[in-house]
Amino acid sequence: MNTLPSDSVSNPSWGEIVLGLLPFVVLGTAVVLFEAPLKPGPAAGVAIVVAGVLGVGGYVLILAALLWAWLKEFPRWSMPYLGYGLIFALYFSFVATPGVVLFNIPVWGSEVWGWRACVPVGLVVLVGLLLSRPPWKPLFRLFENIWKDWTFLAFGLYGFLPLILPILQDEMDHAYTLWPTLIAVLIVVAGAALYLVYARKPFRSAFLLGGMFLAVLAVSIPANYYWDTHSVNFTTGVRTLLPGPVPWQAIIIESLIAAGKLTLILAVTGLVGLLHSQVGKRTASPPSL
């Protein structure tokens, strides 16, 4: 007899929790460093170098964890790595590296990486196929995991938050972005940690949706405050504080709408769970005479 799937899973080990949080911590730290309002000088140079190392090193970490996730048949903690592996390959395909030389050989000059950016991910897939028995079993398990628990897919999308935060604060003065970014990153990490620790599905989905909403709100309020109270000349770079009262009502409403829209995108993944529930109910019900 077919039964409906349980709404809980086994509690993860500490190693799985650390692996699940690592990309949020590494990339979140890089984002915070990029937003630091440092004056030109040695400190700013060090911050940029460290942020760059974390970014590139984070990609290497993502590829290594993605291979491990493949061999482990894509458990819950691995979903952000899957998303990052794809989005980083797409991003680097539009990147050029003029001036970069390896073993006295220029790395494609000013030419963009193009399809070559997909080679690292392709190698992960190739090695994963070679080491898996049968080769395609982990991919089937990935789709099975998402089908049985839609929060797998939601957690993968939630993983993009550290990359979304700077976009929401683009062109802003870093004096206004550092603390909101730090607060938002801490909220994102907390949401991911609670998602990984708690086994029951209703709590897991609430932690992801709440983390998304609060993190976006944390950067949207300062961003809307900045643009509603400053005049920016993008040609000269001059930024002028506008006179008059601060339109707090408009700022709060605009921020709530922005946070709500992005959270709604995350919530749409719940349609997978709804579809699975309906299919499960039909399968579980006895046939009519």
Query: What confidence tens digit (pLDDT) does each residue in 188-236 have?
Result: 999 999 999 986 777 888 999 999 999 999 999 999 999 999 888 777 7
- Flag whether 4 is in a domain: no
Helices (H), the chain: 14-34, 42-71, 79-92, 119-131, 137-148, 151-158, 161-168, 174-197, 201-229, 248-267, 270-284
- Flag whether 5 is in a domain: no
Give the span between the Cα atoms of 80 and 154, in whole angstroms: 9
Confidence of residue 289 (pLDDT cuts 50, 70, 90): very low
Mean pLDDT of 141-164: 92
pLDDT given for residue 61 in this prediction: 86
pLDDT given for residue 99 in this prediction: 57
- Flag whether 1 is in a domain: no
pLDDT given for residue 47 in this prediction: 66
Is the pLDDT reported for residue 91 higher than 90?
Answer: no
- Flag whether 9 is in a domain: no
pLDDT digits (tens, 9 = 90+) for 56-86: 777 888 899 999 999 999 999 999 999 888 8
Give the span between the Cα atoms of 91 and 148, in whole angstroms: 31
Give the span between the Cα atoms of 194 and 187, in whole angstroms: 11
- Flag whether 22 is in a domain: yes
- Which is more confident, 41 or 118? 118
pLDDT given for residue 68 in this prediction: 94
pLDDT given for residue 234 in this prediction: 75
pLDDT digits (tens, 9 = 90+) for 30-55: 888 888 776 666 666 676 667 667 76
pLDDT given for residue 100 in this prediction: 58
Confidence of residue 6 (pLDDT cuts 50, 70, 90): very low
pLDDT given for residue 110 in this prediction: 64
- Flag whether 245 is in a domain: yes
Domain that holds residue 115: 14-284
Is the pLDDT reported for residue 4 higher than 60?
Answer: no
Contact 141, 74 (CB under 8 A): yes
- Which is more confident, 107 or 235? 235
pLDDT given for residue 73 in this prediction: 92
Q: Give how many domains the chain has, as a whole number.
A: 1
- Flag whether 116 is in a domain: yes
Beta strands 230-232 and 101-102, pairing class: unpaired
- pLDDT cut 70: percent of the chain above it: 82
Contact 3, 284 (CB under 8 A): yes
pTM assigned to the model? 0.84
Angle at 206 between CA 205 and CA 207, to 5 degrees: 90
Confidence of residue 116 (pLDDT cuts 50, 70, 90): confident
pLDDT digits (tens, 9 = 90+) for 131-141: 988 888 999 99
- Flag whether 97 is in a domain: yes
Confidence of residue 3 (pLDDT cuts 50, 70, 90): very low
- Supply the Cα-derived Rg of the chain in whole angstroms: 22
Mean pLDDT of 246-267: 94
- Average pLDDT in the chain: 83
- Which is more confident, 4 or 238? 238
